[in-house]
A and B are shown apart, each in its own frame.
Chain A
Amino acid sequence: MPASLVQNESILAIDVGATVTRAVMFDVVEGQYRFIASGESPSTAEAPFRDIGIGVREAIINLQNIIGATLLGTQDNNLIAPSQPDGSGVDAVVATVSAGPTVKTVVVGLLSDVSVQSARRLAESTYSRVVETLDLSDHRRPDQQMDSIVRSRPDLVVLAGGTDGGASRSIQKMLEAVGLACYLMPLEKRPMVLYAGNQKLASEVQEMLGGHAGKLQISYNIRPSLEVEDLAPASYELASLVMKLRQRQIKGIDELNLWSAGIVLPTAYARGRMIRFLSKLYDSTRGLLSVNVGASATSIAAGFAGELTLGVYPQFGLGENLAGILQYTEVEDIMRWLQLDISPNTLREYLFQKSLYPSAIPATMDEQAITQAIARQALYLSVRTAQKDFPANARAMRTGLMPPLDLIIGGGGAVSDGTSLGQSLLLLLDGIQPVGILPILLDQNNLLPLLGAASSRNHYLPVQVIESGAFIGLGTVVSVIASASYGDQVLRARLTYSDGTEARAEVKFGGLEILPLPTGESARLSLQPLRRADAGLGPGKSGSVTVTGGALGVVIDARGRPLQLPSDPVRRRELIKKWYYTVGG
Chain B
Amino acid sequence: MLAPVLHVLPLTTIVRERLLPVLGKVNARVNQRVNPTDIVAEANFAREHVLLDVARTFGISAVAADKLIRVKEGDRLTEGALVAEKSGLFGRSVKAPRAGRVMVAGGGQVLMEVGDTRVELRAGLPGMVTQVIAERGVVIRTSGALVQGVWGNGRIDNGLMVSLLEKPDDILTADRLDVSLRGSVILGGHVRDVETLRVAAELPIRGLVISSLLSSLIIPAYQMRYPILVLDGFGALPMNSAAFKLLTTSNKREATVNAEHFDRYSSNRPEVIIPLPVSTEPEEPNSYEAFAVGQTVRMRRPPHAGAIGSISNVHPGLSSLPSGLRARAADVKLENGETVLVPLVNLEVVG
Q: Nearest-CB distance from B153 to chain A (Å)? A: 14
Supposing A365-B322, A417-B325 touch, asked if A356 and B287 sit within 8 A by C-beta, the answer is no
Give the interface segment out of A87-95, A142-150, A236-244, A378-386. A142-150
A351 to B303, CA, bound (A): 15
Residues on B with C-beta less than 8 A from A44 are 2
Q: Nearest-CB distance from B340 to chain A (Å)? A: 9
A417 to B214, CA, bound (A): 29
Interface residue A47 (Cβ < 8 Å from any Cβ of B): yes
Residues on A with C-beta less than 8 A from B269 are 47
A17 to B209, CA, bound (A): 34
Q: Are B324 and A368 in contact (CB under 8 A)?
A: yes
Q: Are A48 and B343 in contact (CB under 8 A)?
A: no
Give the interface segment out of A178-186, A435-443, A559-567. A178-186
Give the interface segment out of B43-51, B116-124, B200-208, B242-250. B43-51
Q: Nearest-CB distance from A370 to chain B (Å)? A: 10
A356 to B262, CA, bound (A): 9
Q: Are A356 and B151 in contact (CB under 8 A)?
A: yes
Q: Are B301 and A48 in contact (CB under 8 A)?
A: no
Supposing A101-B265, A353-B305 touch, asked if A360 and B300 sit within 8 A by C-beta, the answer is yes
A488 to B237, CA, bound (A): 48
Q: Are A48 and B5 in contact (CB under 8 A)?
A: yes
Interface residue B104 (Cβ < 8 Å from any Cβ of A): yes
Q: C-beta contact mask, A48-76 vs B, less than 8 Å → 1, else 0? A: 11100010001000000000000000000
Q: Are B215 and A47 in contact (CB under 8 A)?
A: no
A window 325-349: CB within 8 A of B: 346, 348-349
Q: Which of B151, B265, B287, B345 contacts A42 (CB 8 A)?
A: B345
Residues on A with C-beta less than 8 A from B302 are 363-364, 366-367
Interface residue B288 (Cβ < 8 Å from any Cβ of A): yes
Q: Are A46 and B2 in contact (CB under 8 A)?
A: no
A88 to B217, CA, bound (A): 56
Supposing A47-B266, A143-B50, A183-B104 touch, asked if A367 and B323 sit within 8 A by C-beta, the answer is yes
Q: Which of B51, B288, B323 contacts A365 (CB 8 A)?
A: B323
Q: Nearest-CB distance from B343 to chain A (Å)? A: 5
Residues on B with C-beta less than 8 A from A50 are 265-267
Q: Are B267 and A46 in contact (CB under 8 A)?
A: no
Q: Are B267 and A352 in contact (CB under 8 A)?
A: no
Supposing A146-B51, A356-B150, A364-B323 touch, asked if A348 and B215 sit within 8 A by C-beta, the answer is yes
Q: Are A58 and B1 in contact (CB under 8 A)?
A: yes
Residues on A with C-beta less than 8 A from B303 are 363-364
A contact residues, total (Cβ < 8 Å): 51
Interface residue A124 (Cβ < 8 Å from any Cβ of B): no
Supposing A180-B51, A359-B345, A364-B322 touch, asked if A47 and B267 sit within 8 A by C-beta, the answer is yes
Supposing A419-B325, A420-B324 touch, asked if A143 and B51 sit within 8 A by C-beta, the answer is yes
A249 to B22, CA, bound (A): 19
Interface residue A357 (Cβ < 8 Å from any Cβ of B): yes
Supposing A360-B301, A361-B327, A363-B303 touch, asked if A353 and B322 sit within 8 A by C-beta, the answer is no
Interface residue A250 (Cβ < 8 Å from any Cβ of B): yes
B window 212-254: CB within 8 A of A: 214-216, 218, 233-237
Interface residue A45 (Cβ < 8 Å from any Cβ of B): yes
B window 245-297: CB within 8 A of A: 262-269, 287-288
Q: Which of A320, A348, A357, A417 contacts B300 (CB 8 A)?
A: A357
Interface residue B78 (Cβ < 8 Å from any Cβ of A): no
A365 to B323, CA, bound (A): 4
Interface residue B111 (Cβ < 8 Å from any Cβ of A): yes
Interface residue A323 (Cβ < 8 Å from any Cβ of B): yes
B window 1-31: CB within 8 A of A: 1-2, 4-5, 22-23
Interface residue A41 (Cβ < 8 Å from any Cβ of B): yes
A window 175-232: CB within 8 A of B: 180, 183-184, 186
B342 closest partner in A (C-beta): A363
Residues on A with C-beta less than 8 A from B151 are 356
Residues on A with C-beta less than 8 A from B265 are 45-47, 50, 100-101, 249-250
Q: Are A361 and B324 in contact (CB under 8 A)?
A: no
Residues on A with C-beta less than 8 A from B342 are 363
Residues on B with C-beta less than 8 A from A364 are 302-303, 322-323
Q: Which of A19, A150, A349, A361 contacts B343 (CB 8 A)?
A: A361
Residues on A with C-beta less than 8 A from B39 are none
A357 to B299, CA, bound (A): 11
Q: Are A353 and B233 in contact (CB under 8 A)?
A: yes
Interface residue B64 (Cβ < 8 Å from any Cβ of A): no
Residues on A with C-beta less than 8 A from B51 are 141-143, 146, 180
Supposing A42-B2, A323-B215, A419-B324 touch, asked if A349 and B235 sit within 8 A by C-beta, the answer is yes
Interface residue B321 (Cβ < 8 Å from any Cβ of A): yes
Q: Are A356 and B233 in contact (CB under 8 A)?
A: yes
Q: Nearest-CB distance from A505 to chain B (Å)? A: 28
A142 to B321, CA, bound (A): 58
Residues on B with C-beta less than 8 A from A47 are 4, 263-269, 287
Interface residue B103 (Cβ < 8 Å from any Cβ of A): yes
B301 closest partner in A (C-beta): A360
B299 closest partner in A (C-beta): A363
A142 to B51, CA, bound (A): 7
Q: Nearest-CB distance from A528 to chain B (Å)? A: 37
Q: Are A363 and B111 in contact (CB under 8 A)?
A: no
Q: Nearest-CB distance from B242 to chain A (Å)? A: 17
Q: Which of B2, B234, B323, B343 contacts A419 (CB 8 A)?
A: B323
Interface residue B346 (Cβ < 8 Å from any Cβ of A): yes
A65 closest partner in B (C-beta): B317
Residues on B with C-beta less than 8 A from A249 are 265
Q: Are A361 and B345 in contact (CB under 8 A)?
A: yes
Q: Are A361 and B325 in contact (CB under 8 A)?
A: yes
Q: C-beta contact mask, A304-334 vs B, less than 8 Å → 1, else 0? A: 0000000000000000100100000000000
A249 to B266, CA, bound (A): 10
A41 to B321, CA, bound (A): 18
Q: Nearest-CB distance from B143 to chain A (Å)? A: 21
Residues on B with C-beta less than 8 A from A346 are 235
Q: Are B288 and A42 in contact (CB under 8 A)?
A: no
Interface residue A362 (Cβ < 8 Å from any Cβ of B): yes
Residues on A with C-beta less than 8 A from B288 are 48-49
B window 136-151: CB within 8 A of A: 150-151
Q: Are B234 and A352 in contact (CB under 8 A)?
A: yes
A-B CB contact pairs (8 Å), 12 listed: A44-B2, A47-B4, A48-B4, A49-B288, A142-B51, A143-B51, A146-B49, A147-B49, A354-B301, A359-B345, A361-B345, A367-B302
Contacts A47-B266, A150-B49, A360-B345 given; 7 further ones with Cβ under 8 A? A44-B2, A47-B269, A348-B215, A362-B301, A363-B302, A363-B303, A368-B323
The 8 closest A-B pairs by CB, nearest first: A419-B324, A349-B235, A48-B287, A352-B234, A143-B51, A352-B215, A46-B264, A368-B323
